[in-house]
A and B are shown apart, each in its own frame.
Chain A
């Protein structure tokens, strides 16, 4: 690979368009242009100079801004498509996802599922897209920031005539007292906080170069942000679990290695009351019916003492009582418990009375704890009831047999055997909610339903996120980069003596109007003519 030696003696990397030092046009194609393309200072973007090994090929692919933009466009489109139908995690678990989508949305749903959009945001190709954007970001930035830095650092004060001529803001003046004009301009430039360098009587005033690094600072922020997102996959960095806990129940908090336990003392759901609350709510309450005011779990946090093995009765020490409300999580160590869901009135106890069907006479009540039913309930005087079978979440299976769907007492059913002095062998009765079956003919006795006792169940999100500060840091750096690139401009003004004339050229990365006004103010009274905006002149000529 050849290096390019400019007439000024500076050796440039291959692929350089404008000499890093004097700005002379090196690329043949550029020589015909009226104005220079000043992007990246005409430096050799490395990606465009090599194409040899496989490594270089991969590098060049990701170094292309065009590729980067396409990756972003594709990701945006895919992300949008993922919101058309609900993601798999949000569909009700009534049937397999494969059937659900077709059942609910027809062939579109089937296609959606077959293409993998039902689980888009953690699909391999979506993750690869995001990762590719990250890689593109790193490589694009590296490939541009290094040459740009070199070019700005190596720039000479006396730029080549061809460079100055082809700047957008350029003018030539004949000035009588050149030295005086230069020193006046220099004073004014200093007032405007320009950094001034001089060389052979020529002058370069520059300010706000800092602004050029804005996009790269911004990219560094983005990359840190992505790293934060990636760390969520590292075990122990991120926890997001749900804990369902009944009133009165004590449960181990998941992901705490069995260290912490939580007791649910009560779950409270408050609604707005038209009588008691501020009357401005009145209309809304009339319209919506019930409006929730507060979801609250009163809990007690315990820490395990000593090292009991799993299953052993642990020695618990109370840490604190707390009232968890929405947005008021219980925090301990790195964990936070948020109120997220609830279930009111889960069946807890059921009461029955052993009753003579004909006379209606009762022979004692029994209360069954649905989470811990007993085998036999003795009612005295020779009356007793045995629970032959218990189905906490009862249904009939395909063979018509009673079975339970789970261990949660959503729909309890019992097979009772009732013993009475006149029926010492017992009578069998199947009792479910609003349903009684007497499989062996008519009984004399029945278990009459008396009442239920319910409990509320609270659902808490167990959350730990050690990546949050990294994501926040990335976001902050991102914003610094945006501000740096947006609120500062990189402005340069060249003053050069050429055969008794004074050549003025100016360049800025944005806000040309501001630059022109600044040049106007600087040159005012020096006798040097205000330079012209060649781009504006061009377009005026055309129109």
Chain B
């Protein structure tokens, strides 16, 4: 009788505690829920670059993809662009592709920016669909995608040239 009561109490308290714990957890992670989780396959997309060429993410399987979301007004994005450009030149022959997705600015602004920094990797303009699929909020946002198409890391915030190099090393097939 006594034992039964203890068991019942333990079960009830456990259920209540679990519900509270879940609610608290869900509440505090709701802002950070990443649409694309590390270890999962990166959502496929097709975007056109500034030369009119189409880039489909799944076509790059077998290569590492350094997927960067940026805007011309975003200072840290502007800062890391030349670093990415330098490292891209080093790594592109080793099977690392850089895709820089602009968050829906005008072609003019993107072209001028790209000319100014002499960017050699493909720059794609997304009107919102890819950003929504990847759950992009603060810029810059970078996804490291390995040769199987899986996301191995998500970085938000500015990167140094050394870390960019290190990241490219990580996704080198």
Contacts and interface: CB of A to CB of B under 8 A. Distances in A.
Contacts of A134: 16, 20
B20 to A, nearest CB: 4
Contact of A372 (B23, B107, B132): B107
Given A258-B133, A311-B129, A388-B112, A403 B16 contact: no
Main secondary structure, interface of B, reads helix
Given A53-B6, A310-B129, A406-B73, A230 B23 contact: yes
Given A230-B23, A258-B132, A374 B108 contact: yes
Contacts of B23: 127, 131, 230, 233
A124 B73 contact: no
A312 B127 CA distance: 10
Contact of A135 (B9, B16, B47): B16
Contacts of B16: 134-135, 138
Contacts of A292: none
Contacts, number: 110
B80 to A, nearest CB: 17
Contact of B24 (A53, A128, A372, A404): A128
Q: Which of B71, B106, B126 has the most CB of A within 10 A?
A: B106
Contact of B27 (A122, A373, A407): A122
B30 interface: yes
B128 interface: yes
A366 interface: no
Interface string B1-20: 01001100110110010011
B28 A124 contact: yes
Contacts of B162: none
Nearest to A255: B132
B37 interface: no
B43 interface: yes
A390 B112 contact: yes
Contacts of A234: 26
A371 interface: yes
A329 B6 CA distance: 52
Main secondary structure, interface of A, reads mixed
Given A375-B108, A407-B71, A310 B6 contact: no
A338 interface: no
A94 interface: no
In this complex, the interface size class of chain B, counting residues with CB under 8 Å from chain A, is 35 or more
Given A135-B20, A233-B23, A233-B26, A404 B44 contact: no
A479 interface: no
Contact of B43 (A310, A374, A389, A393): A310
Nearest to B21: A131
A387 B10 contact: no
Contacts of B104: 407
Interface string B62-99: 00000000011100000000000000000000000000
Contacts of B109: 390, 392, 404, 407
B117 to A, nearest CB: 14
Interface string A417-433: 00000000000000000
A176 B47 CA distance: 104
B133 A310 contact: yes
A158 B95 CA distance: 93
Contacts of A122: 27
Interface in A220-237: 227, 230, 233-235
Given A309-B56, A311-B47, A128 B73 contact: no
Given A390-B109, A403-B73, A127 B24 contact: yes
Nearest to A124: B24
Contacts of A254: 132
A390 B112 CA distance: 9
Nearest to A49: B5
B155 interface: no
Interface of A: 1, 46, 50, 53, 55-56, 58-59, 122, 124, 127-128, 131, 134-135, 138-139, 142, 227, 230, 233-235, 251-252, 254, 258, 309-312, 371-375, 387-390, 392-393, 403-407
11 contacts: A59-B13, A135-B16, A233-B30, A252-B128, A310-B46, A311-B126, A311-B129, A373-B106, A374-B108, A375-B108, A404-B73
Given A235-B26, A252-B132, 9 more contacts: A46-B5, A138-B12, A235-B33, A309-B46, A310-B43, A310-B129, A388-B112, A389-B112, A407-B104
Interface of B: 2, 5-6, 9-10, 12-13, 16, 19-20, 22-24, 26-28, 30, 33, 43-47, 56, 71-73, 103-109, 111-112, 124, 126, 128-130, 132-133
